[in-house]
Structure formats: C-alpha cells, structure tokens
C-alpha cells in the first residue's frame, strides 16, 4: 500500500485549521469573557473585609458575575485602551527587526536565516524591556481606572455601615 504524502499533508492541514478554530472559539473567547465576569471579585472581597463581613471567594465571584452583567463590554474597552500600547510596541519592534535585515543579496540562505533569527531575538528582547518599562507606568493607572469603574458600578453597596 502506497501512501500519498501530499494528500496526507493536505488532510492534516485541514484538520489542524479546523481544530484551531474550535480551540479559539470554545476555550479562549469564553475564558476572556469569564475573566471580565470575575474581575470585580477582589474589590468585592476587600469591601466585605473592610465592613467586617465574612465572605468566601465563591460568594465574591458570584457577586462579581451579578455586578458585571451588562458591563463586561465597558471593562473590555478599558482593558483595550491600556493594553493597545503593548501591541503597538510589539508591532513597531517587529517592523524594526524586518527593516534591520539586509536586502536580499547573493548571500547563502543559512546566512540570511541566521541574520533574521538574530534580528528577531534582539527585537524580542528589546520589546520585552520596553513593555516592562511601560508597564511600570501604565499598570498603576489601569488598576486605579478599574477600581474607579468598580466604585462607579456598586457605590457603597458592599461597604456595610457598622452603626446599622
């Protein structure tokens, strides 16, 4: 029995493409949605602790889901406005890596591959350093913005007054 390698590769590619769509559709996207559903749980826990009320993490997560119902898109936009900067820096770094490659000449393919690998390694290191430095500036603002968003959503609902 003879195996047709081209047909085998073609079938494997089709199956992998289909599987990646399922992985993204069924695991990654719902995970992102749940991340925003549970985003207010730490703030709810903190408010409950401050009001001397014992609350489990499961209760805080349930409350967070209730609070975030209809508000996940707004939190996603807040997240996107801060995190777009990391994407832009990565994109600029990759463009610079492409531009740093010498134009195609009569060099050997191995030399060109090594040069490309080296350029992208340097680009990745520089992108990581710049993103780290950027996060030192952006993360406090992002955290404060999310905390303000939480306070706007719930007000003092979870801060129980001790006099009552």
Reduced to 3 states (helix: H, G, I; strand: E, B; else coil), residue 145 is helix
- The CA distance from 140 to 134, in Å, is 11
CB neighbourhood size of 67 (10 A): 20
Tens-place pLDDT, residues 93-117: 888 877 777 665 566 666 777 777 8
Q: What is the pLDDT of residue 13?
A: 74
Q: Which of 53, 87, 76 is closest to 142 using CA atoms?
A: 76
The maximal CA–CA distance of the chain, rounded, in angstroms, is: 85
Q: For the chain, how far is it from start to end, CA to CA, in angstroms?
A: 83
- The CA distance from 143 to 46, in Å, is 14
What the block records as the tokens of 98 is 């492409």
Residue spans of the domains in the chain: they are 70-155
Instruction: Provide the 8-state DSSP code for 103.
Output: P
Tens-place pLDDT, residues 30-56: 889 999 999 999 999 999 888 888 889
Does residue 24 surpass a pLDDT of 90?
Answer: no
pTM over 0.85: no
- Residue 155 pLDDT grade (very low, low, confident, very high; cuts 50, 70, 90): confident
Q: State the average pLDDT over residues 152-163.
A: 75
Sign of the C-alpha dihedral, residues 146, 152, 155, 157?
Answer: negative
């Amino acid at each position: 029995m003879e195996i047709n390698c081209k047909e085998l590769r073609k079938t494997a590619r089709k199956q992998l493409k289909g599987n990646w769509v399922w992985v993204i559709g069924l695991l990654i996207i719902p995970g992102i949605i749940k991340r925003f559903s549970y985003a207010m749980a730490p703030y709810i826990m903190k408010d409950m602790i401050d009001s001397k009320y014992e609350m489990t993490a499961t209760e805080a997560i349930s409350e967070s889901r209730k609070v975030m119902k209809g508000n996940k898109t707004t939190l996603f936009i807040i997240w996107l406005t801060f995190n777009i900067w990391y994407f832009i820096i990565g994109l600029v770094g990759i463009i610079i890596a492409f531009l740093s490659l010498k134009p195609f000449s009569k060099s050997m393919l191995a030399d060109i591959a090594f040069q490309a690998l080296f350029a992208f390694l340097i680009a990745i290191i520089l992108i990581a350093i710049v993103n780290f430095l950027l996060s030192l500036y952006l993360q406090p603002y992002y955290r404060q913005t999310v905390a303000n968003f939480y306070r706007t959503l719930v007000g003092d609902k979870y801060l129980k007054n001790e006099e009552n």
